[in-house]
Amino acid sequence: MQYRKFGKLDWQPSALGFGCMRLPTVNGKSGNIDQVKVTEMICRAIEAGVNYVDTAYVYHEQKSEIALGKALQGGYRERVRIATKSPIWLLNESADFDRLLSEQLQRLQTESIDFYLLHALNRDSWTKIQRLDLLRRAEAARADGRIRHLGFSFHDNLETFKQILDGYDAWDFCQIQYNYMDAAAPDGTEGLHYAAARGLAVVIMEPLLGGKLALDLPATRPLWDSASQKRKPADWALQWLWNLPEVSLVLSGMSTLEQVEENLNSASVSGTGMLNSAEIELVNRVRDVVKSLSPIPCTSCEYCLPCPNGVNIPRNFDVYNRVAMFDIIDDCRNEYKRFIPDGQKAAACIQCDECLSKCPQQIPISTWLPVVEEVLGLNRPYLTSI
């Protein structure tokens, strides 16, 4: 395992962090975590040198922290730093911060959380944090040892990111979505540099854009095959991030032991400045191709769930996007009709728009869902834009 600098802190994280948002489940139910597989995967990663594990209060229907706490028994807790998050949108008064933190400590079976994040900050939640005086609550928790380091995860524009970062001078780290696709947007790259220049550790989430950058796309395969150094698409995406000195660690939400092994192998040969100019240009060319393939920029983060009417929004978007990626509309129509329950299909959307404010990607969900139903359910012509 390779280790990296973590901002101003005197500690080195593993290049790879274990994300607990996409753990293996039983019968495909998010809250029904397969504890045996989770424990095997997490312990394998720790044995290989991973020392940072990330979860959140809301992941897997509030079961992820519990599963992680169980997996870290038997001496594994002492070998890793735990990161988890305060769900700001669930806090109605200042005291809720401490109430939920206490619950998280119990779930994780630990006396202290090493890295505590204010979860999914944006302009509105930053205003709420100030109104409820939550930073004072967080400082008290840091002072008495319930948490050790304070940071935030972020989903908004660059202006808001700078406002949050500059609005509090005691941040230790931040967590942002970044990958070689996001690099095409100036906000993503500038935000990375802005935080790193101020001494914050920068943790990367969605390095594979919800798994999309791990796919063996027919349109990009010739480009990858042209490289002198042969790598799988996921490895290229991870190495591109580890090549950047501003990146402190890369989180991967792993769902199988095979994914753990592949990511461990990638991390073992990672490092800043490892890619040459030709390889960086190759990734840029792949980016241009991939950018044109997926019309809906959904990362399957599930922040839009639960839908009040039961629609499985990420599942619908995933099937729809794969039409463009692989040109397999008949297969995708079959999957939509046979394997997505009627109550979870796009057709069940009632246009309540409750999901719109929750989407980190700012996708016009209620506009796209009727298109998904038209194309996949009613066999109408495929659309790549709305």
Query: Average pLDDT, stretch 70-74?
Result: 97
In this structure, are strands 173-177 and 147-154 parallel, antiparallel, or unpaired? parallel
Mean per-residue pLDDT of the chain: 93
Least confident of 83-87, 216-220, 321-325, 333-337: 321-325
Is the pLDDT reported for residue 13 higher than 80? Answer: yes
Rounded to 5°, the CA angle 140-142-148 comes to: 170
Chain segment 266-285, per-residue pLDDT in tens: 999 999 999 999 999 999 99
Q: Report the pLDDT value the prediction gives residue 16, as an integer from 0 to 100.
A: 98
Residue 327 has pLDDT above 80, yes or no: no
For the chain, list the domains and their CATH numbers. Answer: 16-291 (3.20.20.100), 294-386 (no CATH)
The model's pLDDT over 156-213, given as tens digits with 9 standing for 90+, comes to 888 899 999 999 999 999 999 999 988 866 567 999 999 999 999 999 999 998 787 8
Per-residue confidence (pLDDT) for residue 184, from 0 to 100: 64
Give me the residues paired with residue 85 across strands: 117
Taking the C-alpha atoms of residue 42 and residue 28, their distance in angstroms, rounded to an integer, is 20
- The rounded percent of the chain whose pLDDT value lies above 90 is 79
pLDDT at 366: 95
> Mean of the pLDDT values across residues 228-250?
97
Cα–Cα distance for residue pair 69/82, rounded to 1 Å: 10
Structure tokens at 60: 């897997």
CB 59 within 8 Å of CB 205? no
Residue 282, token pair as written in the block: 């190759």
SS (HEC) of the chain: CCECCECCECCCCECEEEECCCCCECCCCCCCECHHHHHHHHHHHHHCCCCEEECCCCHHHHCHHHHHHHHCCCCCHHHCEEEEEECHHHCCCCHHHHHHHHHHHHHHCCCCEEEEEEEEECHHHHHHHHHCCHHHHHHHHHHCCCEEEEEEEECCCHHHHHHHHHCCCCCCEEEEECCCCHHHCHHHHHHHHHHHHCCCEEEEECCCCCCHHHCCCCCCHHHHHCCCCCCCHHHHHHHHHHCCCCCCEEEEECCCHHHHHHHHHHHHCCCCCCCCHHHHHHHHHHHHHHHCCCCCCCCCCCCCCCCCCCCCHHHHHHHHHHHHHHCCHHHHHHHHHHHCCHHHCHHHCCCCCCCHHHCCCCCCHHHHHHHHHHHHHCCCCCCCCC
Mean local confidence (pLDDT), 311-337: 88
Arithmetic mean of pLDDT, 312-328: 87
Q: Looking at residues 132-142, what average pLDDT do you find? A: 97
Query: For residue 83, which of 57, 120, 45, 52 has the smallest C-alpha distance?
Result: 52
State the chain's maximal CA–CA distance in angstroms.
Answer: 60
The proportion of the chain whose per-residue pLDDT surpasses 70, expressed as a percent, equals: 98
Listed in sequence order, the residues at least 6 apart from 378 whose beta carbon sits closer than 8 Å to its beta carbon are none
pLDDT at 89: 94
Task: In whole angstroms, give the CA distance from residue 324 to residue 5.
Answer: 39
CB atoms closer than 10 angstroms to residue 266: 23
- The answer on pLDDT for 32 being more than 70 is yes
| pTM score, whole prediction | 0.81
Q: Does position 65 have pLDDT exceeding 60, yes or no?
A: yes
- How confident is residue 293, by pLDDT bands cut at 50, 70 and 90? confident
- pLDDT value at residue 337: 92
